[in-house]
Chain A
Amino acid sequence: MMRITFTALAAIALLLGLPLLGAALTGHDVRQYTEFPPLTQYVTHAPFSRAAFVGLAILLLMAGLPFIARIVQSNDAFEPREPDRHPFPRWGWFGLAAGAVSWMLAWTRFDWFAPLQSFTFSPLWFSYIVVVNAFTQWRAGRCSLTSRPGFMAVLFLVSAGFWWFFEYLNRFVQNWAYQNVEGLSSMEYFIFATLPFSTVLPAVLGTYELLQTFPRLSVGMEKFISIRWARPRVLAVAGLLLAGISLAGIGVWPDYLFPFLWVSPLMVIVCLQTLRGQSTIFSPARFGFWRDIFLWALAALVCGFFWEMWNYKSLARWVYIVPFVQRFHIFEMPILGYSGYLTFGLECAVISDAVGRWCNKRQPPAIMRRATIRTLLALLAGAVLWLPFMHVFFKPPNLADYRADAGIPPRAAALAARQMELWSDPDLRQKEFLKMRRSNAEWDFMARTYFVLALSNMALREPGSANSHLVIIDSIIDETIRLEKENGIYHFLMDYARFSPFRNSGQRSLFQDGEIALMLAARRLVREKESYRPLLTERLRLMETQLRESRLLCGESYPDQCWMFCNAIAIDAFRMADALDGSDHSNLIAAWLQSVKQNLVDPSTGLLYSSFTLDGRPLDGPEGSSIWMIAHSLQLVDPDFAADQYRRARRELGRTALGFGWAREWPKSWKGPVDVDSGPVIPILNISPGSSGLAILAAAAFDDRLYLSALITSLNYGGLPTRKDGRLRYCASNPVGDAVLLYALVQGPLWETVNRKLSTSQPASDLQKEVKQ
């Protein structure tokens, strides 16, 4: 059993890891292979080749004709015995009826059935499984569905994973693609794909067992060619190498190695079994017994025919793009493509056999059951003892180490030390920022903004350190403006910004203008710098022009794409300017607040949309990576609304469990697309590192200590903190993430300074009155 387990683990590791490794080592972007749902086509296939088609056809005929000839010859002398008669089971009639109805629904388009039209595959194939088992029961008196229900149940589960593996391999060759599934979210795609995938192994097994009841189909296969190898282990090593190399290469040369998608998994399993001295599916061939091999291959071919036939006119369907042989289709599959089902059948055999052996335990079942139950109970006890207390090892013993009302908390100081190292070492900065820019050029820009804001707050917290901080702030601001001037606004934007022109007359991005204005204002609030005054004034003028051009008083960050995050920051810049220079943008701010409240709130959550068109059409819902910062930004202009947004975000996105805290990227009610700004999202729990990091900022800003403590516990666990020479960074983060964290831990004085300055010139209640009006 343990040998089987070791073989299985080794096979899984090779089959999953080799394609990715091959792609990674040759410089391919592995992220495209892990896209989910897998909708993007990125493999260009070779066109039809007559020579390749003829050559492959000849090879297949040479391989298959001996089998067919043997069966035909043997049938002449074959005298079948009279079969026992068994009644056709009643549940078989149900299967036939359900199958007929499902087939009709799959191939028709009734209006009343439209919501379910994409999901006819599963009932059709569950019916097929019932029907083939019913026919087997009728002909042989027994079938797996009734005699081994536990085994069949496990086989359904294993089948889902089994076919998902082939879907994974298909990411590297893209020989098939699904149509009419674009509207599904990731979870929907997973569920509605897993269900039909679970029918694959039971369908092939059921067909194999039914074919066994027709002895004429395989007569002669029990005494056919004997194949014995003098050195099976040597052959197994060679086979393993070949399979390994081909698996590693399928993403690199998909046009030439795609057949190995169907052959290599079988080779890997058989070779590993041989090396470990286990019997393989080909072991009986040593004695000329080919019947099972033949029937399994034939069973998969029969299922393949039905798969392709029922797929042909279904709504949610697949199409093929097979290099060199994409011609002479039977349904969607090119005729030579059906040969892949033959080896696929053998793979189904191997897996079904492994599942069968696992279910048929060697030791008496009662002992195994007791041992298994005791072990499971013991592991459950271990989990109950450990998991609720695991957070204790990562929980901050003293929250003041992270967040304090005055001074620089120790963790913040260590984070700042690392950030300062980046900004004092140009080579290191370039290396780290280049990594970020490869994912998202915006992160380069935002790392600057957050670090400037953090340093500004630190300078206000400890005026004695202001001089050194201001030097860094000035260098960041000057370099940022220089880069913008030298490279244009696209330097800090993602590539899609170039696909169309901005709609505002100035062709400006509010994302850049707003954050540069915020940096200039923050710097000047710490200590005045006259040369920055006209720069800030000009940015504000450009932003105000852009806002006033829009019906909603919102500006574009990308062409016809407004981000609430950027608009809120821009509004903060206006407010800070009023505090600095005595200007009065209160009407603009009040009008903007009124506009967003009236037009840009998601009705199901009450949260502001993250992105929208200039006309106000939502593009993204309330996105975690945005809404936390938006709530914090709103604190400066409308504290009540800000608190409301935070409470809603906390309810919709904030989560805690077992002492750990995290944030979702999307509320449950929003089925939004994946935004690359969000970064990866850990499924099932929907943990968004980006949203969770910004949630720390909001929790600190709104003094939500319980949630902040839980978030920092998660940060200490999942963030993988690393300290070196007093400098702290989080290995699971990047410079912009660390800058956000630093800002989160020291923010406060800047907003307080703005409010204090404004309160001496304008009662705070006046702005609130304007907003409410």
Chain B
Amino acid sequence: MNSSLLSRATLPHGLLTPRGLLLRAAILALLFLACHAAGWRDHATVLCGTDPSAAGAHLQAFLGLIYVLAFVGFTAGAPILALGSGCLWLLDRWTLAAPSGRGTGLGGKEMI
């Protein structure tokens, strides 16, 4: 995925829109699944102070930390973003007028 594709995937929906929040939740989930599929869960033993590599290189410790962060992002961050997306959608629907779709965040222009 080149940078322009990544940009189009992430940029059109700013952080301040329901779709944007949902997209970021999905990104967190995908990041975690990628780390899990890569088997980095086994390296999380770095959390208890044990170097996950017996051979001496410490890359696995670094990957273990990445996995833990991705895990927290998936278990705490993504649900909050997803629920926040729903709450923002409800809030937009009930509180804002929507001339030309602007400000709704639903297929409208990005807020930022």
Asked whether A24 lies within 8 Å of B16 as measured between CB atoms, the reply is: no
Quote the shortest CB–CB distance from A38 to chain B (angstroms).
18
Total number of A residues with any Cβ neighbor in B under 8 Å: 56
Given A375-B88, A435-B52, A732-B44, A383-B80 contact (CB < 8 Å):
yes
Contacts of B56 in A (CB 8 A): 27, 438
Closest to B83 in A: A382
Contacts of A74 in B (CB 8 A): none
Residue among A372, A378, A679, A731 making CB contact with B49, cutoff 8 Å? A679
Contacts of B38 in A (CB 8 A): none
For the complex, what is the distance from the CA of A171 to the CA of B49, rounded to whole Å? Answer: 20
Asked whether A24 lies within 8 Å of B61 as measured between CB atoms, the reply is: yes
A28 on interface, CB distance cutoff 8 Å: yes
A85 on interface, CB distance cutoff 8 Å: no
Stretch at the interface among A110-118, A235-243, A384-392, A747-755: A384-392
Asked whether A1 lies within 8 Å of B112 as measured between CB atoms, the reply is: yes
Contacts of A382 in B (CB 8 A): 79-87
Asked whether A2 lies within 8 Å of B10 as measured between CB atoms, the reply is: yes
A466 on interface, CB distance cutoff 8 Å: no
Contacts of B44 in A (CB 8 A): 720, 731-732
For the complex, what is the distance from the CA of A676 to the CA of B52, rounded to whole Å? Answer: 17
A381 on interface, CB distance cutoff 8 Å: yes
Q: Which chain B residues (53-112) contact chain A, with CB distance < 8 Å? A: 53-54, 56-59, 61-62, 68, 71, 75-76, 79-88, 91-92, 95, 103, 110-112
Asked whether B61 lies within 8 Å of A30 as measured between CB atoms, the reply is: yes
Asked whether B87 lies within 8 Å of A435 as measured between CB atoms, the reply is: no
Interface of A is mostly: helix
Closest to A26 in B: B57
A379 on interface, CB distance cutoff 8 Å: yes
Closest to B59 in A: A24
Q: Which chain B residues (4-36) contact chain A, with CB distance < 8 Å? A: 7, 10-11, 14-16, 21
Asked whether B59 lies within 8 Å of A379 as measured between CB atoms, the reply is: no
For the complex, what is the distance from the CA of A30 to the CA of B44, rounded to whole Å? Answer: 15
A29 on interface, CB distance cutoff 8 Å: yes
Closest to B95 in A: A374
Interface centre among A6, A28, A30, by most chain B C-beta atoms within 10 angstroms, is A30
Quote the shortest CB–CB distance from B80 to chain A (angstroms).
4
Asked whether B48 lies within 8 Å of A733 as measured between CB atoms, the reply is: yes
For the complex, what is the distance from the CA of A378 to the CA of B111, rounded to whole Å? Answer: 16
Residue among A368, A440, A734 making CB contact with B112, cutoff 8 Å? A368
Asked whether A390 lies within 8 Å of B79 as measured between CB atoms, the reply is: yes
Q: Which chain A residues (1-27) contact chain B, with CB distance < 8 Å? A: 1-3, 6, 20-21, 23-25, 27
For the complex, what is the distance from the CA of A676 to the CA of B51, rounded to whole Å? Answer: 13
Quote the shortest CB–CB distance from A724 to chain B (angstroms).
11
Asked whether B58 lies within 8 Å of A29 as measured between CB atoms, the reply is: yes
Contacts of A385 in B (CB 8 A): 83, 87
Given A689-B48, A733-B45, A363-B112 contact (CB < 8 Å):
yes
Given A25-B57, A382-B84, A435-B53, A390-B48 contact (CB < 8 Å):
no
Quote the shortest CB–CB distance from B85 to chain A (angstroms).
7
For the complex, what is the distance from the CA of A361 to the CA of B95, rounded to whole Å? Answer: 23
Residue among A21, A436, A680 making CB contact with B62, cutoff 8 Å? A21
Q: Which chain A residues (360-404) contact chain B, with CB distance < 8 Å? A: 361-363, 367-368, 371-372, 374-375, 377-383, 385-387, 390
For the complex, what is the distance from the CA of A237 to the CA of B83, rounded to whole Å? Answer: 40
Asked whether A737 lies within 8 Å of B48 as measured between CB atoms, the reply is: yes
Asked whether A431 lies within 8 Å of B16 as measured between CB atoms, the reply is: no
A191 on interface, CB distance cutoff 8 Å: no
For the complex, what is the distance from the CA of A362 to the CA of B16, rounded to whole Å? Answer: 14
Contacts of A435 in B (CB 8 A): 45, 50-54
Closest to B62 in A: A24
Closest to B88 in A: A378
A162 on interface, CB distance cutoff 8 Å: no
Asked whether B57 lies within 8 Å of A720 as measured between CB atoms, the reply is: no
Asked whether A2 lies within 8 Å of B11 as measured between CB atoms, the reply is: yes
Closest to A373 in B: B16
Quote the shortest CB–CB distance from A32 to chain B (angstroms).
10
A722 on interface, CB distance cutoff 8 Å: yes
Asked whether A378 lies within 8 Å of B58 as measured between CB atoms, the reply is: no
Residue among B11, B81, B82, B91 making CB contact with A377, cutoff 8 Å? B91
Contacts of A383 in B (CB 8 A): 80, 84
Contacts of A717 in B (CB 8 A): 75
Q: Which chain A residues (604-663) contact chain B, with CB distance < 8 Å? A: none
Quote the shortest CB–CB distance from A371 to chain B (angstroms).
4
Contacts of B87 in A (CB 8 A): 377-378, 381-382, 385
Given A374-B91, A734-B45, A6-B11 contact (CB < 8 Å):
yes
The digit string for A696-716, where 1 denotes a CB below 8 A from any CB of B, is 000000000000000000000
Residue among B7, B54, B75, B81 making CB contact with A438, cutoff 8 Å? B54
A690 on interface, CB distance cutoff 8 Å: yes
Asked whether B111 lies within 8 Å of A363 as measured between CB atoms, the reply is: yes
Closest to A732 in B: B47
Quote the shortest CB–CB distance from A518 to chain B (angstroms).
23
Asked whether A30 lies within 8 Å of B58 as measured between CB atoms, the reply is: yes
Asked whether A25 lies within 8 Å of B79 as measured between CB atoms, the reply is: no
Quote the shortest CB–CB distance from B32 to chain A (angstroms).
12
A439 on interface, CB distance cutoff 8 Å: yes
Residue among A363, A436, A689 making CB contact with B47, cutoff 8 Å? A689
For the complex, what is the distance from the CA of A378 to the CA of B71, rounded to whole Å? Answer: 23
Contacts of A438 in B (CB 8 A): 50-51, 54, 56
For the complex, what is the distance from the CA of A363 to the CA of B86, rounded to whole Å? Answer: 24
Asked whether A375 lies within 8 Å of B48 as measured between CB atoms, the reply is: no
Closest to A368 in B: B112
For the complex, what is the distance from the CA of A426 to the CA of B49, rounded to whole Å? Answer: 23
Asked whether A720 lies within 8 Å of B71 as measured between CB atoms, the reply is: yes
Residue among B41, B50, B85, B95 making CB contact with A436, cutoff 8 Å? B50
Asked whether A27 lies within 8 Å of B47 as measured between CB atoms, the reply is: no
Closest to B6 in A: A6
Closest to A436 in B: B50
Quote the shortest CB–CB distance from B33 to chain A (angstroms).
15
Residue among A372, A380, A732 making CB contact with B45, cutoff 8 Å? A732
Closest to A25 in B: B59
Name A's B-contacting residues (CB within 8 A).
Answer: 1-3, 6, 20-21, 23-25, 27-31, 361-363, 367-368, 371-372, 374-375, 377-383, 385-387, 390, 431, 434-436, 438-440, 443, 676, 679-680, 689-690, 717-718, 720, 722, 731-734, 737
Contact sample, A vs B, 29 pairs, CB 8 Å cutoff: A1-B14, A6-B11, A24-B58, A25-B59, A27-B56, A362-B112, A363-B112, A372-B16, A374-B91, A375-B84, A378-B85, A378-B88, A381-B84, A382-B85, A383-B84, A385-B83, A386-B80, A386-B83, A390-B79, A434-B54, A435-B51, A435-B52, A439-B50, A680-B47, A731-B41, A732-B45, A733-B45, A734-B45, A734-B50
Which 7 pairs across A and B sit closest by C-beta, in order of nearness?
Answer: A382-B84, A382-B83, A679-B49, A378-B88, A378-B87, A379-B84, A732-B47
Given A380-B84, A720-B71, 18 further pairs, Cβ under 8 A: A2-B10, A2-B11, A2-B14, A361-B112, A375-B16, A378-B21, A379-B21, A381-B84, A383-B84, A386-B76, A386-B80, A435-B53, A680-B47, A680-B49, A689-B48, A722-B42, A731-B44, A732-B45
